[in-house]
Amino acid sequence: MLETRRRFLNTALLAILVLAAILFVTTLFLLKTPHVGFNAFLTATLHVIYAFSAIVILNKSPSAFSIGLLVGTSLTVIVLSLQGAVFWNLAADDFASHRSASYTASVLHAIILVIQLIVTWIVVQEKEDVIDTYAAYDYIPDSGSSSISSRSSPIDTAEALFFKEFAWDDVFDGNCGARSRFGLRRGDDVLMLEVTRPHRLVCDLCSALGGGGDGGLALTSRDARNV
């Protein structure tokens, strides 16, 4: 995600947080409004919690789940903002003793609504850039790195780790020619692959990881997820 876009989202969410705090104070004057005073107070509280949580999510290695949750709650906040803007504008004349507070609440809801629409649109459009892909792979252990690096002289360690992430226990019958066959074994499952023109990296990996013959290098990757 571009740093300028991230700064813009942080600024917009910070503005929502400030407006929500002002709205929270405003609703304290509306608590005695029959039937809706406490509801307005809870709505303002949710706005504050949402803005703070959104800032934390966007700046703490956001995952696909957290961004999906953020988009869902953003839609809820949009509905609440629209409802608050319309209701307090229409109800201001009915509550003469709290008319100023009602109009203030309506204006604050309207401003939050506009900013929230922009924030939600950007997050939805840029979700692939917002999501921190590398955060999803933090659980992959490094225990197999040393054993791979010691036996991967034809290629560097990074390429070996690339192969490791497929989480296959073994590679056998490697043959790099015009038509190549590769056997991959994981537990009791065996997968045979036939490639017409294999990528050079695949050939190098199979050679480096014991691809010649039955029973190549057993990768210590049982704890790795199959991606």
The pLDDT value recorded for residue 12 is 92
Q: What angle do CA 106, 115, 78 make, to 5 degrees?
A: 65
The pLDDT value recorded for residue 46 is 92
Kindly report the number of other CB atoms within 10 A of residue 198's CB atom.
Answer: 22
The pLDDT value recorded for residue 184 is 60
Instruction: Per-residue pLDDT tens, the chain, 227 aa: give them.
Output: 567 788 888 899 999 999 999 999 988 888 777 777 888 889 999 999 999 999 998 888 778 888 888 899 999 999 999 999 998 888 877 776 778 888 888 999 999 999 999 999 988 888 777 775 545 444 444 444 444 444 444 444 444 444 444 444 444 444 454 445 556 655 566 666 555 444 555 555 555 544 444 433 333 333 333 33
The pLDDT value recorded for residue 111 is 95
The pLDDT value recorded for residue 206 is 54
Q: What angle do CA 13, 18, 21 make, to 5 degrees?
A: 125
Contact 44, 20 (CB under 8 A): yes
Q: Which two tokens stand for residue 137?
A: 């792979």
- Rounded-to-integer distance, Cα 194 and Cα 202, Å: 12
The pLDDT value recorded for residue 75 is 93
The pLDDT value recorded for residue 127 is 77
- Rounded-to-integer distance, Cα 225 and Cα 146, Å: 19
